């Protein structure tokens, strides 16, 4: 492309739109379904259940240690489908680009999306591009939708947790939210901090194979682990007991949280999951999680109980008890 930045004409549907699609987007997301360039993707469908999810990503800054808005958008939707028990297969991509956005940056973002999709085993098969006047959006926003089929033997829901179930967290909390905050505020620390943004569908597939009776899978994104556990407790009408000493947090991340007055229990993650597992399959699920590159620090953090239904109670490190409530308000806006 001759131009070095996005023009309004790139979203007009005319010649420049066609040039943008065919010189940047099509080569990056290349596959037979997309190449047809119909109004939508035409995909053969088998019988069974479909997991379908959509999300819009407006993270600020758009580039951060551990990723950028492009691979974050792919990871986020892949994970939402995977948490339903679905095997993610196809994605759509909607780009809203601000006039004047540098094409070199768009190429980096698109390449990251293509790499993330390939790593997750999904294909980007349809999409849309709009360009808005300068100031009408902040650089670039991305919407991704995705779907995958759910195997017949899998039945996951936030309403299925039962007393006796054990709770697994796949790794350290708060990496993504703290990374975005430190970048936004230009804070520098001796130890590097980076986002945990990652696709978890390989991990979920392995866990469900080892423990097909898993009751709940959720990725604790906005609102963090604390809010996600509260949502599950309310939907299942059960209680939860978690242990503060078993909640994993990187020391550098904990230092930032202490400095800024943040509770890592409520800070966003983009590459972690919570699993609620029947006790007889809990060890198998944990071991399968640990075998994944993104789950090496997985551990049990608590149990589901019949007491105090709808509430989460944390045993503190000093032996006390603390009620864990849902996050109120937006602790860190525009983190995904």
The secondary structure element, H or E, covering residue 216 is strand 216-218
| Mean pLDDT across 219-239 | 95
DSSP letter for 102, please: B
In this predicted model, what pLDDT tens digit does every residue of 284-335 receive, in sequence order? 999 999 999 999 999 999 999 999 999 999 999 998 999 999 887 777 888 8
Rounded to whole angstroms, the Cα distance separating 142 from 56 reads: 6
pLDDT at res. 1: 67
Nearest to 155 by CA among 76, 227, 75, 51: 51
Q: How confident is the model at residue 3 (pLDDT cuts 50, 70, 90)?
A: low
Rounded to whole angstroms, the Cα distance separating 183 from 179 reads: 6
Range scoring the smallest mean pLDDT among 17-21, 40-44, 116-120, 210-214: 40-44
| Mean pLDDT across 26-42 | 85
Task: Judge whether residue 215 has pLDDT over 70.
Answer: yes
Residue given tokens 């904990």 in the structure block = 254
Rounded to whole angstroms, the Cα distance separating 294 from 102 reads: 33
In this predicted model, what pLDDT tens digit does every residue of 70-92 receive, in sequence order? 999 999 999 999 999 999 999 99
pLDDT at res. 35: 86
pLDDT at res. 301: 98
- The percent of residues above 90 in pLDDT, for the chain, comes to 81
| Mean pLDDT across 233-239 | 96
Tell me the CA distances in angstroms from 200 to 82, 113, 271, 272, one per residue in order. Answer: 7, 15, 7, 8
Supply the mean pLDDT for the chain: 93
Rounded to whole angstroms, the Cα distance separating 87 from 79 reads: 10
| Mean pLDDT across 163-189 | 93
Task: Judge whether residue 141 has pLDDT over 80.
Answer: yes
Q: How confident is the model at residue 36 (pLDDT cuts 50, 70, 90)?
A: confident
Residues 220/274, Cβ–Cβ less than 8 Å: yes
pLDDT at res. 331: 75
pLDDT at res. 175: 97
Residue that wins the pLDDT comparison between 56 and 12: 56
Radius of gyration of the chain (CA): 21
Angle at the Cα of 199 (from 194 to 204), degrees rounded to 5?
125
Residue given tokens 């309310």 in the structure block = 234
Record the tokens describing residue 57, joined without a space. Answer: 């990503």
Predicted TM-score of the model (pTM) = 0.94
Q: How confident is the model at residue 56 (pLDDT cuts 50, 70, 90)?
A: very high
In this predicted model, what pLDDT tens digit does every residue of 120-132 receive, in sequence order? 999 999 999 999 9
Task: Judge whether residue 45 has pLDDT over 80.
Answer: no
């Amino acid at each position: 492309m001759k131009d070095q930045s996005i023009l309004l004409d790139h979203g007009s549907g005319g010649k420049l739109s066609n040039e943008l699609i065919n010189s940047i987007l099509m080569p990056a997301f290349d596959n037979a379904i997309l190449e047809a360039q119909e109004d939508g993707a035409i995909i053969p469908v088998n019988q069974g259940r479909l997991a379908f999810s959509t999300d819009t990503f407006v993270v600020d800054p758009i580039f951060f240690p551990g990723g950028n808005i492009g691979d974050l958008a792919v990871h986020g939707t892949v994970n939402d489908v995977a948490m339903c028990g679905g095997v993610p297969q196809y994605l759509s991509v909607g780009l809203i680009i601000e006039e004047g956005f540098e094409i070199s940056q768009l190429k980096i973002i698109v390449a990251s999306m293509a790499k993330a999709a390939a790593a997750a085993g999904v294909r980007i098969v349809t999409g849309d591009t709009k360009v808005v006047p300068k100031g009408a959006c902040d650089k670039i926003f991305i919407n991704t939708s995705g779907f995958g089929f759910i195997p017949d033997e899998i039945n996951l829901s936030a309403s299925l947790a039962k007393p006796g179930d054990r709770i697994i967290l796949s790794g350290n909390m708060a990496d993504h939210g703290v990374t975005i905050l430190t970048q936004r505020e230009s804070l520098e620390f001796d130890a590097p901090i980076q986002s945990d943004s990652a696709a978890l569908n390989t991990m979920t597939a392995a866990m469900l194979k080892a423990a097909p009776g898993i009751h709940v899978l959720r990725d604790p994104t906005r609102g963090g682990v604390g809010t996600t556990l509260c949502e599950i407790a309310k939907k299942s009408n059960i209680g939860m007991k978690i242990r503060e000493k078993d909640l994993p947090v990187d020391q550098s991340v904990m230092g930032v949280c202490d400095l800024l007055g943040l509770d890592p229990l409520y800070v966003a993650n983009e590459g972690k999951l919570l699993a609620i597992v029947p006790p007889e399959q809990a060890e198998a699920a944990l071991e399968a999680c640990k075998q994944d590159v993104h789950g090496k620090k997985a551990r049990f953090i608590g149990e589901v109980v019949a007491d105090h239904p709808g509430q989460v109670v944390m045993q503190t490190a000093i032996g006390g008890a603390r009620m864990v409530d849902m996050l109120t308000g937006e602790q860190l806006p525009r983190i995904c």
